[in-house]
Amino acid sequence: MKQLLLDIAADVPPTLDNFLPGRNAELLHALKTILQSGVGERFIYIWGEPGSGRSHLLSAWIHAAQKLGQPAVYVPGEIPQQWEGGGLVAVDDVSRFDQDGQIALFHLYNRLREAGGALLVSGPIAPGGLDLRPDLLTRLGWGLVYQIHGLNDEEKALALQVHARERGFRLPQEVLDYLLRHWRRDLPSLMAVLDALDRYTLEQQRPVTVPLLRQLLQLELDL
């Protein structure tokens, strides 16, 4: 039981495979094209509300590049001052940068452009609404700009039903509805609960029901 709860509590590593595109198929295609062929626009800015999957996508893109042996770094904090060569850099939430951070990002953009690198930057709003240096805003607007759309409840429900079928069990609608109302809203966390629920039903020798799901979630909250 303890291992089961550790599994459900652990964060699911972000990958491009567990990023459900929904209305973001064009963006996902653009990022995969950079990884696979290096052609096309190599500077992309994405924006969206909290929970839309911005950080997931940036981290997953860098992880995919590293698996392919490409130099790549995910930047949730300070800009790497001595990043050299081409490679890929993903910078999360440009709106948090002070003047020094903005200058560092400006120079990083120029270095990557000269070296044939690629840059993925995220923010909470479109570039035109950011309170940043004009020269940096110009750079961010030169590449592709995408609004990233979070999955709606219908899209999440469909993804969860498919995931349950792939694991070989039926997910009753009332269980799905309860999960969407009472658990974290990001899809990897929701899928992690389904994985734990599948194992829990086998351990308890009970069918998938709302009371069983409630019991599992309460055990997690009591940790």
What tens digit of pLDDT does each residue of 145-163 get? 999 998 888 988 988 998 8
The superfamily in CATH containing domain 22-147 is P-loop containing nucleotide triphosphate hydrolases (3.40.50.300)
DSSP 145-180: EEEPPPPPHHHHHHHHHHHHHHHT----HHHHHHHH
pLDDT at 61 over 60: yes
The pLDDT tens digits for 71-83 are: 999 988 778 766 6
pLDDT digits (tens, 9 = 90+) for 191-222: 889 989 998 999 899 999 999 999 998 877 66
- For 2-11+151-221, the fitting CATH number among 1.10.8.60, 3.90.550.10, 1.20.5.510, 1.10.260.40 is 1.10.8.60
CB distance 59 to 17 below 8 Å: no
Nearest to 143 by CA among 117, 163, 164: 117
pLDDT grade, residue 175 (50/70/90)? Answer: very high
pLDDT for the residue 9: 46
Per-residue pLDDT reduced to its tens digit, 11-60 = 557 888 878 888 999 999 999 999 987 677 899 999 998 878 899 899 99
Could you tell me how far CA 187 lies from the centroid of its own chain? 10
154-160 contact pairs (CB < 8 A, 24+): 155/20, 155/22, 156/20, 156/180, 156/187, 156/190, 159/20, 159/187, 159/191, 160/187, 160/190, 160/191, 160/194
Residue ranges per domain, the chain? 2-11+151-221, 22-147
Alpha-carbon 65 to chain mean position: 15
